[in-house]
A = this chain, B = another copy of it.
Amino acid sequence: MTKYIGILTAGGDSPGLNAAIRGVGKAVVGHYGMHLVGFRDGFRGLMENRTAPLEGGQLSGILTLGGTILGTSRDKPHKMPVGGKIKDMTGVIVENYHAHGLDCLVCLGGGGTQKNALRLKEAGLNIITLPKTIDNDVAMTDITFGFDTALGIATEAVDRLHSTAHSHHRIIVVEIMGHRAGWLALGAGIAGGADVILIPEIPYDVDSVAAAIKRRSRGGKPFSIVAVAEGAISVQEQARQAALENKKVKKAKDADVEEPEIIYADRTIKLAQQLEALTGLEARITILGHLQRGGAPSAADRILSTRLGTAAADLIAEGRYGFMVAARGEATEAVPLEDVAGKVKTVPIDHPWVESARRVETNFGD
């Protein structure tokens, strides 16, 4: 009996989403002869029954396209703004799933989406998810699609800032995405040869950072690049937050808040000002922001998206549901949603990348 499959993209947009939709679609429709329908703007579209056809020519020419042809949103099934109120729309979503006669729903998203997908699984739906995020912080997978492309964009930015730092004898502080995990700042910092890399996992001491910059300056290099992840904090700030958390309900750690659009800029500006004061060098900041999400996926991301997408189709063909398709070396692996949801993959402080960076004289402010 022919299966009917639904697909949606949720959370922040990320390069490779369309390549993954194409991978799922070509395999599901072309290879396995099933039916596929898209839902618009994440879980909201499923709730509102807004569909997008995917069996015509819609999959052609999208392999290289940034963003998502399905649209996306950060709406959660169980806490969805409807008519000015926040409601639990899980029931409506389950209803619509069945009304469409779906055999499986494929959800492409980051950490928050894995949690929402698990909720729908627990509500009885057949779910497969793919791990998408430029932050690379989804648990239980080697890597997420979007990361390699964002890494390339952030690295190119660091390269460009080198010219201006060098020509003007300046400190340039470049803020890179990642509020819980420092993968992107760490990777772009190594690849771009940043002199200082600050990530959430290694609280920094601004005096250590300034000392490292002054050492470089005395050694004849009166310019430095500081790659800072959005979520990087100083040891002082960490202590202050820890004190607060003992008193209050912690808010920032709510894993449902997938990539909130918080302004980290203030913290970055303050860091630049401190470094200027401590080193006597001019400091400038650059905030990469949404640039890191956009544009055509890299070759590596297109391959990753394609193979995760076709592996999702394989699972569906086998009738195996309730899994995230994870990248494991050059192969893929089905990981139960329960093992993924609610977890964040942060950078271990003794990770090989960190160890390697320290050996090429990168400072981590610790």
Task: From B26, B153, B299, give the contact of A360 (CB < 8 A).
Answer: B26
Main SS at interface, chain A: helix
The answer to whether A294 and B160 have CB atoms under 8 Å apart is yes
The answer to whether B356 and A290 have CB atoms under 8 Å apart is no
- Please give, as numbers and ranges, the residues of chain B lying within 8 Å of A284 by CB-CB distance: 261, 289-290
The answer to whether A172 and B290 have CB atoms under 8 Å apart is yes
- Please give, as numbers and ranges, the residues of chain B lying within 8 Å of A159 by CB-CB distance: 64, 294-296
Task: From B13, B157, B298, B331, give the contact of A168 (CB < 8 A).
Answer: B13
The answer to whether B168 and A359 have CB atoms under 8 Å apart is no
Q: Which residues of A contact B (CB under 8 A)?
A: 9, 12-13, 15, 17, 22-23, 26-27, 30-31, 41, 60, 63-68, 71-73, 142, 148, 151-157, 159-164, 166-169, 172, 187-188, 190-193, 221, 261, 284-287, 289-291, 293-296, 298-300, 302-303, 306-307, 310-311, 313-314, 329-332, 351-353, 355-361
- Please give, as numbers and ranges, the residues of chain B lying within 8 Å of A359 by CB-CB distance: 23, 26-27, 30-31, 310, 313-314
- Please give, as numbers and ranges, the residues of chain B lying within 8 Å of A287 by CB-CB distance: 287, 289
The answer to whether A155 and B356 have CB atoms under 8 Å apart is no
| 12 A-B residue pairs with CB within 8 Å | A30-B360, A142-B329, A142-B330, A155-B302, A157-B291, A191-B300, A261-B284, A286-B289, A306-B356, A310-B356, A329-B329, A332-B352
